[in-house]
Structure 1
């Protein structure tokens, strides 16, 4: 084994939803690490990017993987987390699918584009009416960006588990990611690491022009995947994976 490929999914996502054959990587001398931080996949707990980075770092150190070539694939918030981790431990190459470079900007962009409901509905309890607490409170609180200003989310201390996301405490999840939030800036870019950013045809979760300018200013490769219709690269992962293999691992 010459190296390790770490896959970090979008915030609340599941690394196993992206199909990668272990046998395919074995021929390249790589071991695949499907990293589901707390509250991702079947991992329980409360998600915080910084503590999740520490968990991943401890896992890689324990197995001696930091002495190998490191590669990473990160989607959305997972892409931003890998960029922050690469500031501590250099990767040979990071492949980033619509990385959230500024978590608060992402939320404000959802409000400005009238797409915030797409975010808030990911956080609802299944089988519960939208007119009943806590779903009613969630939709009402997140319907405007006021909570980003006053931080009043203590009433959302509820456990959420549905087909898309799970968390022990919704208020802590929102606090850890958006109050005050995180920013990936040029100071985190490492010369030892090569970066390739993939963007979809349309993205309602983060402004593409911001990412394109960030890539240009920092000398990062950035390409659009025309087959990808949205931020989640729906039905287009295999196209992205083909590009990654073409670029080379």
Structure 2
């Protein structure tokens, strides 16, 4: 039986002046983004930490389009969409919120290194020689690289051939580690990369105020493509030089400060 972990905190729903949705990176956990309750009260916010399937305490297998539908259903059931909606999305979560913004009129979106094209992201990892960084997020803990299933994962993902052939049925086994849990690695990879998902240009008639944050270096998605996308759609881009990588390692508090400056403190 599937379960979905969604954690709410902050101002009581009836008193909330706005709903803030937090969607983590693919394989991330919404619990890791720390925001004090006192700050939520200060801005009149109800915080929705959304862990889609295979993230945090949510089981199942991640599919970004299906996850958007699950979030939308939850927000409607709890009457959250009758309030101003704000969103923070990291990596694949940023792309998912961009797609969801085509359905729901967000007031403001804050996107941390959004993966605008899942296949281009993976090819970029291959081109930069960083694909093992992705592969190792999928391994079973305490199992040597030369044993099942880690051997099959590392060998299959070592080259981009599978993106062309689609031959990954032999990866139809569950994976559970500290970052991700999926019922079938094969389905997980198909949902994300075969054929993959892409964020198109934004509908300017439904304008949402959007800010993209970029780290000093990003091995998971080309920064120039993100910057071009932002320029084409007239989006704000803030580079955080103190953030060393795609995961904004040890930089969340600085990112959160800049989000507050843009959203609520510099009016």
- TM-score norm. by structure 2 comes to 0.91
Q: Could you tell me which of 42, 62, 65 is aligned with 2:57? A: 42
- Shift, 1:191, TM fit: 3.3
Q: Does 1:199 align with 2:214?
A: yes
Q: Could you tell me which of 137, 143, 151 is aligned with 1:136? A: 151
CA distance in 1, matches of 2:202, 2:169: 34
Q: Does 1:24 align with 2:39?
A: yes
State the secondary structure of the residue aligned to 2:206: coil
Residue 175 of structure 2 is matched in structure 1 by: 160
Q: What CA deviation, in whole Å up to 9, does each residue of 1:153-194 have, x standing for no partner?
A: 000011111111111110000000000000001045663311
Structure 2 residue ranges without an equivalent (≥5): 1-15
State the secondary structure of the residue aligned to 1:94: strand
State the secondary structure of the residue aligned to 2:238: strand
- Shift, 1:27, TM fit: 1.9
Residues 163-242 of structure 1: pairs in structure 2 closer than 5 A: 163-187=178-202, 191-242=206-257
Residue 5 of structure 2 is matched in structure 1 by: none
Structure 1 residue ranges without an equivalent (≥5): none
Residue 101 of structure 1 is matched in structure 2 by: 116
- TM-score norm. by structure 1 comes to 0.98
Residue 3 of structure 1 is matched in structure 2 by: 18
| Structure number with higher relative contact order (C-alpha < 8 Å, ≥ 6 residues apart) | 1
CA distance in 1, matches of 2:243, 2:202: 29
Q: Does 1:82 align with 2:88?
A: no
Residue 114 of structure 1 is matched in structure 2 by: 129
CA distance in 1, matches of 2:205, 2:33: 27
Q: What CA deviation, in whole Å up to 9, does each residue of 1:186-232 have, x standing for no partner?
A: 04566331110000000000000000010001100011001100000
More moved, 68-77 vs 23-32: 23-32
- Shift, 1:22, TM fit: 2.5
- Shift, 1:16, TM fit: 0.5
Contact 1:18 1:237 in 2 (8 A): yes
